[in-house]
Structure 1
């Protein structure tokens, strides 16, 4: 290379070096940490001067590097004075006596994921964005992880569920550490939720509500900005709260309630993902089991994540458990649960599920707003928080109320309970519970009912049963041996049991020594009428079979009385014409004239007793004019016969007269409703008659206790004759009245 070329190369190299040096300087200057940026959390705490104990614990916990660099945290930082009080409470002289495990608990539970200024702590981070003033909790960096426990006499490694168990059995999601939440009480949320100091002081009676409290602590200096987050100074140290599951485990006062769960509604299920994580972390060979709660429960008490329908929904809500102490629960066991069972081990699993759910709420139940919540069974909370709660605690996943009473659940204090907690009535209970709606009716403590309850033995003798392998009801006719399809078998049993449900707001059936009639079913969904006489009860079918029902025992419950019976309240399977025929054939019958017209009419089948337009299983009211009223209809020219004498012609020849008779009969049969003298049915009611245009016609029904009359289209009134009315038929009543009904267009 010549001298000139060498000089040019050296000049270019020097220029490149200078240019590169200038570029690096500019890059370093561009990315240099801004001079006005606040230091990270650790350094900020150091600079404040009153967090010396906390910074020492941060170092001991191994979090100095994490909090001394970039990140995104909120720290609820106890000051030195808070630690001085904490050490006295713990019997510790100074920070040197705190080991790394305790230090990690304190530091990690004081750390909230993400940085939140005061004005944001009350806002919920939903998937649709911020929901203002709808949050009172945040997820912390602390979690329990794997623990060793003695289960059934063996030591195993256990991890808590991090989801509420679903029907597919999923209760543990790998990678979710089940981080604990911390609760705070900020003014914006409290005001928006209609809460106040009394709600806070219910849980923390000795603390001062300031409008920004973290558990039992007061927030002092807030919104201290650091490079990697926000610091809020607090005046108390908070150790990680236990969850509802851990509360039950740690408190002997509620051991009986816990045994209900542990012995019946908890399983320890091996999990390979959890086992792999544990073995990789510890280098030990133990297998890991997830503590899984029954999917029928409202929630899993060891799940820290709330519902997890959204990632952060634990910010806006939590669980609640009302747990009765041992003494009152034992009394409930003795007086209620084991009234018909020899031991708790014999109780069906669903009893435990219902009992626990009666004490669970899938929301945070605030003390001043308890009336706004329902338990998992849909019942209001029937526990007085002023007099019947012995302790109340905010826990990591919800609110805990220790009570000196048992929730007065519908299922355990109603006439439904008589079947539900007695193994002799499993078939009735099964139907009550299978979506029939009967359970909801008879377990309602806000109403009063009488329940006529047949045992499994009684129902089996009459052909009813249940096939467990196919989950279907069965019915075999005792007389013919005919077997009905499962859906029809269920319908028959449902109708029988519905006949035995009677609303009795004034305990009308507590005395069955006299006689009377009453409607079964529910007020919103009427059943059929049944009668009682001299201690026996009967429905329309019992009159046909000649077998009435005898009371063989009774039991009073909170919402009424249960009668145990030796037979069923049978429904009639014969056409109403047969009932009219029997009434007409009695000596001196006042039903004779009407029936004779019916018997010879074009709408009646003599062989079956069927009336055109009248269907079995449908509600009707038969308004039957007495003999004198029929004769008056003949005199008035409304029916065939001799107008001069009123003598009926029951078998007229001309078609026109036959049509007149048919229309007369139809107008005296009210469709769709069954009216009696009990005040339950009033107003215009459709008849079987159609006018010349094919439109419906109506009769006005007026009913009151002890009174019943019918007003026709001509404003004429027919009044029932009490001694000969309220005759039972298939979903029908047959009344004798003193006048005929006249339709005029």
Structure 2
């Protein structure tokens, strides 16, 4: 009923109009084409007289009817002079020698969807509206479609993926023909990005930049208005550009690069939608496959659509690929990739993923701006645009640079590489790569590091393993046989391996023959302190266990040195109180303070615990020597004989106990571990609280070879170097020559 009502509502005005017209002439006049309307594209080209070759190809391609009626196109139209040059370049006699397939390529690649005057070509049609001067490409009417290829000895029908193969995403969307883009160089866009003729001529050294170039051609006349669009006359015939995938396929200079990519990161997947489309179009029965790149890759080199976050995002950006030529790539394979592997097929898949992502950029990398881009591993582009490029080419889906150099990726030239490219260190590599952030630290070529690297054999012997079936870490204590899995096991190994990462900007650990102490971890995320002596290294846990780490060998990388070791730098699971008590046994200068800790009730001798101190938390213990304790007694700061300076080690009055506990807590600095390396300076909270329950602080002054603690009264306590820097769980214990005084 609703349809009938709608029909009458639409039809009645037409009847009324027809009955009001006195004759057929008036009807025709009302609906006739306006006299001042420009002719359609085809008729415009025909009338101008210098597009005879193009109009002939338009007819041969079957596009005369399309371009002679209503529509909305932009045509980059090559004139007859452009075709004369084209015929000479291709060895073609005249336009009649061009077949219909080539004619369609030329015509359809010259046709851009929608009509754009010059001033709009530089603007990007974003989902939120026009973005001025942010576009340099437009989608054309040309696409490759299905092609027959030989894959693994079999002839199959193949379509390129029309989306990037993201995890969980679609790599092929039915109905999307993967149309190719045409690149142009308009002054407004170039100015907005800070580009110049240099950027244009880098790709087209034999052409002249004019401020409106279409690929290597010049625009002779712009903004010719037609009924169904806009014509821009150009002096160059353009065949459809190939894409990055096709460039690698066609160029023998990069056959090794392509072989690695195709062998390890490409699949040809049967697709029912593609098959249906192909069979309906051709009336053939062949199955159709989609060439799909691995989802770990930064982008799919055969995808013409850019990211497709919005329909037109291919207007304002494109991909870039740097492909090293065969000779330099073979040397990289021999010297780097196969240093510890017998063949390429033995390498883990992630090595290939990382290698190619290092050579891929999800942006159009303009030559003059190369320093502003990052590759798929978020690294700087380490290719010199002046010396390392053999060829540069604008393609349909991006820029291609053929190089005489492999991108010097962090992953292949850092201390991380020692584990990453050696099958003996798969456990360490797995942890570095699993989101711990360790890979980013030790692969950073901007810093210098020393890495102490345990092999799989060492870690397995010490109880660490990875359960692939359950995707979890496992740790079995060699001492007790107790097994933990998952987060607990991973956390334990994280801490152990972090002890083996040491920033060494001045190669501080290249000589381990002497002795010293140094902090592990990154500068931004402090680790724990380790020591070295006579070519051995050890951490707090090694001291407790009575073992040390021996150096089996080393390898120098671009950002430091890797030491291969026979043990791990163990963290301590012994309470700090036990370490401090043991120090007092070894050195009597610690004894007075330790006796005060026992008498105050803060130190449990049996358990080794200190009230308020926890395992796994950073501390600095500032221990006054015996003379300083005597002076504190004489000054009445702690209970005892103010004349002789002998402390009351076993106070019974609560007031004396509280006084003694406050004194001890003020000598325990919380949350930070300070040494004489200059890394920790400034106000640091202590365990003591004031009368209002607020935190109290001690100021740390540290420099290489110096360490001073300044109390609330600006009194100085200097460390005694020979008896300081003692290791404990995430802590250091220092002997000082004065006591710290806090007053309200």
- TM-score tier after normalising by the smaller chain length: over 0.9
- Equivalent position of 1:557 in the other structure: 557
Q: Which residue pairs with 2:644 in the alignment? A: 645
Rounded Cα–Cα distance in structure 2 between residues aligned with 1:584 and 1:23: 121
Partner of 1:11: none
Cα deviations across residues 144-184 of structure 1 (Å, max 9, x unaligned)?
00000010011100000100012125210000000000000
State how 1:99-248 maps to structure 2 within 5 Å: 99-168=99-168, 170-248=170-248
Offset from partner CA, 1:643-685 (integer Å, 9 cap, x none): 2212222112212111111111101100000000000011111
Residue 616 (structure 1) aligned with residue 615 (structure 2): yes
Aligned to 2:3: none
Alignment of 1:423-434 (within 5 A): 423-434=423-434
Q: Deviations over 1:392-416 (max 9, x none)?
A: 0000000000000011111111001
Which residue matches 2:684?
Answer: 685
Matched, 1:541 2:541: yes
Shift of 1:19: 6.1
Q: 2:21·2:27 contact (CA, 8 Å) conserved in 1?
A: no
| 1:729 maps to 2:731 | no
Q: Whole-Å Cα distance in 1 between the matches of residues 633 and 20 of structure 2?
A: 125
2: distance between equivalents of 1:658 and 1:129?
74
Distance 1:314 1:19 in 2: 52
Instruction: Provide the C-alpha distance between the structure 1 equivalents of 2:531 and 2:518, rounded to a whole number of angstroms.
Output: 6
Deviation track 1:284-314 (CA, whole Å, cap 9, x = no partner) reads: 1111000000111110000000000110100
Distance in 2, Cα, partners of 1:657 & 1:200: 84
Q: CA deviation at 1:128?
A: 1.1
**Alpha-carbon deviation of 1:21?**
7.0
The equivalent residue for 2:590 is 591
Q: How does 1:376-395 map to 2 (within 5 A)?
A: 376-395=376-395
Provide runs of 4+ in structure 1 moved above 3 Å.
18-21
Contact kept? 2:666, 2:688, Cα under 8 Å: yes
Match of 2:457 in 1: 457
CA distance in structure 1 between the aligned counterparts of 2:19 and 2:254, rounded to whole angstroms: 77
What secondary structure, in the 3-state scheme, does the structure 1 residue paired with 2:311 have?
coil
Which structure 2 residue ranges, 5 or more long, are not aligned?
Answer: 1-15
Matches within 5 A, 1:318-717: 318-586=318-586, 589-717=588-716
- 2-structure distance, mates of 1:189, 1:714: 65
2:13 aligns with none
Separation of aligned partners in 1, 2:532 and 2:295: 45
Q: Provide closer, same or farther for how the CA distance between residues 44 and 635 of structure 1 changes in structure 2, counting only shifts above 3 A.
A: same
SS for the counterpart of 1:345 is helix
Give the 3 Å change call, closer, same or farther, for CA 633–155 of structure 1 in structure 2: same
Find the residue that maps to 1:363 and give its secondary structure. coil
Q: Which residue of 2 aligns with 1:307?
A: 307
Instruction: Compute the displacement of 1:36 (Å).
Output: 1.4
Shift of 1:602: 2.0
Please, which moves more after superposition, 196-205 or 599-608? 599-608
Residues 101, 712 of structure 1: alpha-carbon distance in 2 compared, 3 angstrom cutoff: same
2:374 aligned counterpart, secondary structure = coil
Post-superposition offset of 1:480? 1.2
2: CA distance, partners of 1:616 / 1:443: 30
Q: Equivalent residue for 1:27?
A: 27
**Partners in 2 of 1:300 and 1:724 — Cα distance?**
61
Give the stretch that moved more between structures: 255-264 or 596-605. 596-605
Which stretch of the first structure deviates more once superposed, 122-131 or 47-56?
122-131
Find the aligned partners of 2:162 and 2:23 in 1 and give their Cα distance. Answer: 52
RMSD (CA atoms): 1.1
- Give the structure 2 partner of residue 4 of structure 1: none
* SS of residue paired to 2:717: strand
More deviation in 641-650 or 211-220?
Answer: 641-650
- What TM-score do you get using the length of structure 2 for normalisation? 0.97
Give the match for residue 11 of structure 2: none
Between 120-129 and 234-243, report the one with greater CA deviation.
120-129
Counterpart secondary structure, 1:429:
helix
Q: Secondary structure at the match of 1:611?
A: coil
Q: Decide whether the 8 Å contact of 2:549 with 2:567 is kept in 1.
A: yes
- The whole-number CA distance in structure 2 between the counterparts of 1:137 and 1:618 is 57
- Unmatched tracts of structure 1, length 5 or more: 1-15
CA distance in 1: counterparts of 2:24 and 2:429, whole angstroms? 83
The TM-score, its normalising length taken from structure 1, stands at 0.97
1:96 maps to: 96
How far the C-alpha of 1:485 sits from its partner, in A, is 3.6
Greater shift in the superposed pair: 24-33 or 560-569: 24-33
Which deviates more from structure 2 when the two are superposed, residues 621-630 or residues 649-658?
A: 649-658
Shift of 1:23: 4.8
Deviations 1:482-524 (A, max 9, x none): 1124111111000000000000000000000000000000111
Report the equivalent of 2:737: 738
Is the Cα–Cα contact under 8 Å of residues 472 and 485 in structure 2 kept in the other structure? no
CA deviation vs aligned residue, 1:414-439 (integer Å, no higher than 9, x gap) = 00111111111111111111111101
The 3-state SS of whatever aligns with 2:59 is helix
Corresponding residue SS for 2:636:
coil
The answer to whether the Cα contact below 8 Å between 2:719 and 2:734 also exists between their aligned partners in 1 is: yes
Please state whether the residue corresponding to 1:481 is helix, strand or coil. coil
